[in-house]
Amino acid sequence: MINVFEHDATPTWSGFIYQGRIAVYLAIKTMIELRNEGKILEIDKYTIEMEKCEDIAIVYKDENGNRKYSSIHQVKNENEHTLSEYKKPLIQLMLEKGYYKECNAGAPDAYLHIANSIRGENKDFETECLKWKKEILKYYDAVDKACKNYTNNRKFYEELLNELKKEPIGIDRSEYKTQHSTVIKYCKEVVEENHTIDRIKFEEALKKLKDYLLNKLLVPYISSEVSIYKYDNGLNHFDGTKIFDGIVKLVKEYKGNIAGWSENQYKYLADKILNYIDKTILERHKNLQEKKCVVREISLSKLQEIMDTFVENNEKEANILALKRGYLESLDKFCQKCQRNNDYTCHDIDCKLQQAEYRKEKLNEEDFVRFCYNLRPECEKKIEDRACIADLGSKDGLMESVFPIIKEIPSERFIDKEDERQLKVRNHDKMAFVTAITNSDAEDAVLGIEQALDKNSVMIEAIFEADQLVTTRLEADENIWNQSCIKIRRDEIADGQKIENRDERSIYVAKRPQFVKAEAFIKDMEKDGE
């Protein structure tokens, strides 16, 4: 039997990061449970299935190779706070739970994962789910009765039309929507337009609708036994940032107390498995967009291999993975903020923040590090130093400068896009370099960059190719560099331009860029486009 619940649309990037974290949480949780039950040798029989039917499913392959669904999960990283706003994913869970049981594909537990708490959840949940089930069964019974007791009179069409208009399932499948709308069309022609319809065609359409409900959705077997997932901290919700802490706790539980291990080592292991899942999801997303073959499963044994990794001398890789996690978390938060402000362009595939080149997902580790230093050129700490994360991973700088510019500035204004280690924008006749600098004191910012150049020049020297450095809240013209040891190269000095005295401490650069605020920069660019 073809499973009609399989995803038939290419999802957007938004929400994938949250989904990946839920998948990791469930994977580690399952490994712990299997170990505690003395079934650790059965891990290789389990897989994590993602974006096939449900967002996430835990699947078990029995001794005969038959797939049995152990649990199914809908994941919603939304800002809604009422149960009714999650009606659609909950109904899909209810239908799928019944579907798998009837098709002998297991009797899975069915869960909804949410990022925010639901008001009145405990009081209303079971009652609401049971009500939705009754509405769906009543709808099916009306279609079934119409098929069995067809009568060519106005009252028959009126009663059927009334039930069809209520349509309580809401499943987004083109075949079903076509069949439903076709029957409605015939009924309206009789009731509202007093037309005579082709009875044979009407009966055929009605039968097709019933057949879909009965044999594809398996509506009579719908189950209201679904629930909102409860995490180990006792909460029924977890946002994308806090769930990482939950994952680290599970890593600690799985590994136990290892002598000499620091908190950062447990975080590193959590980041390693997260990075693996994120790469898998993003690659699947890319293949879906390009209509390529998609592998939708990850073996639990593969994740176990990562969890059993011996962590040693990992400072550099650990810091890079932490930076990547922070960058994606900030990007996800920015997109959520757009949604809260009713700016749904962040969910549109045409939004640059949905595109791989601006999400930096294709960058290798070394180039991603270079990208981070280009955003925060005041950072003098090496990537091997854990303290660099606080400087390089500036959330304020990303949220207030980098992401707004990516989102608002037209694609054609970005230059040298083949080098994804930098964000360069053409501003009139100037070249602007987008940064995440948050310092509001110009002299202090210059001093910080000067010190960083002295210790980390290779990483940040490219910023001096720019005419402007875009920041969150700093404005200053190029003369701000006059009191520093930053000197412009002789071959870059225009005729008649004064050359400063040079000394042994001077650092020679191509240009001395001015500082501009991101907000003003965006407005200036908008004027230029008028």
CA separation, residue 425 to residues 108, 257, 281, 401, 491 (Å)? 51, 50, 30, 13, 24
Whether residue 215 is found in the same domain as residue 260: no
DSSP state of 116: S
- Contact between 164 and 183 under an 8 Å Cβ cutoff? The reply is yes
Domain edge (last residue) among 290, 307, 324 = 307
Q: Is 280 among the domain residues?
A: yes
Question: Tokens 């898998």, residue?
Answer: 280
Q: Is 110 among the domain residues?
A: no
Q: Is 434 among the domain residues?
A: yes
Domain edge (last residue) among 265, 284, 307 = 307
Whether residue 509 is found in the same domain as residue 361: yes
Instruction: Count CB-CB contacts under 10 A for residue 324.
Output: 22
Whether residue 206 is found in the same domain as residue 329: no
Mean pLDDT of 186-208: 94
Query: What is the residue-averaged pLDDT of the chain?
Result: 86
DSSP state of 485: S
**10: confidence class by pLDDT, cuts 50, 70, 90:** very low
Q: What is the pLDDT of residue 9?
A: 46
Nearest to 181 by CA among 192, 167, 197, 196: 167
Whether residue 408 is found in the same domain as residue 361: yes
Burial (0-12, 13-18, 19+ Cβ within 10 Å), 109: middle
Structural domain of 139: 134-221
Helices within 149-227 (DSSP H only): 154-166, 174-191, 199-211
The CA distance from 112 to 328, in Å, is: 23
CA separation, residue 216 to residues 201, 202, 260, 274 (Å)? 21, 20, 56, 35
Q: Is 129 among the domain residues?
A: no
CA separation, residue 433 to residues 151, 403, 415, 437, 484 (Å)? 73, 13, 10, 11, 20
Question: Tokens 């659609």, residue?
Answer: 88
Q: What is the CA radius of gyration of the chain?
A: 29
Helices within 376-467 (DSSP H only): 388-392, 395-397, 403-408, 442-460
What are 288-300's pLDDT values in tens digits? 667 776 667 899 9
The CA distance from 32 to 58, in Å, is: 14
The structure's pTM equals 0.86
Q: What is the pLDDT of residue 503?
A: 54
Taking CB atoms within 8 Å and a gap of at least 24, the contacts of 418-425 are 420/357, 420/360, 420/362, 420/363, 420/367, 420/371, 421/363, 421/367, 421/370, 421/371, 421/374, 421/462, 422/371, 422/374, 422/462, 423/374, 423/375, 424/466, 425/470, 425/525
Whether residue 290 is found in the same domain as residue 387: no
At residue 294, the 3 state secondary structure works out as: coil
Whether residue 302 is found in the same domain as residue 320: no
Q: Which amino acid is at 96?
A: E
Question: Tokens 């009179």, residue?
Answer: 153
Q: Is 406 among the domain residues?
A: yes
Q: What is the pLDDT of residue 514?
A: 94
Contacts of 377 (CB under 8 A, 6+ apart): 435, 437, 449, 452, 460, 463, 469
The CA distance from 202 to 146, in Å, is: 11
**511: confidence class by pLDDT, cuts 50, 70, 90:** confident
At residue 65, the 3 state secondary structure works out as: coil
Q: What is the pLDDT of residue 358?
A: 83
What are 473-485's pLDDT values in tens digits? 999 998 888 777 7
**Maximal C-alpha separation, the chain:** 100
Q: Which tops the pLDDT comparison, 179 or 312?
A: 179
- Contact between 471 and 423 under an 8 Å Cβ cutoff? The reply is no
Whether residue 400 is found in the same domain as residue 422: yes
How would you list the strands of the sheet with 67-76, edge to edge? 227-228, 109-114, 67-76, 56-61, 46-50, 297-299
Whether residue 299 is found in the same domain as residue 339: no
Domain edge (last residue) among 307, 338, 359 = 307
Question: Tokens 């209520």, residue?
Answer: 166
Whether residue 161 is found in the same domain as residue 216: yes
The CA distance from 93 to 55, in Å, is: 11
Contacts of 224 (CB under 8 A, 6+ apart): 94, 126, 129, 130, 132, 133
Mean pLDDT of 43-63: 86
Nearest to 508 by CA among 491, 523, 483, 529: 491
Q: Is 127 among the domain residues?
A: no
Q: Which amino acid is at 130?
A: L
Q: Is 123 among the domain residues?
A: no
Q: Is 94 among the domain residues?
A: no
Count of domains in the chain? 3
* Residue percentage of the chain with pLDDT more than 70: 88
What are 144-182's pLDDT values in tens digits? 999 999 998 999 999 999 999 999 999 888 899 999 999
Whether residue 205 is found in the same domain as residue 338: no
Whether residue 279 is found in the same domain as residue 421: no
* pLDDT above 50: residue 221: yes
**313: confidence class by pLDDT, cuts 50, 70, 90:** low
Whether residue 185 is found in the same domain as residue 63: no
Nearest to 377 by CA among 466, 450, 472: 450
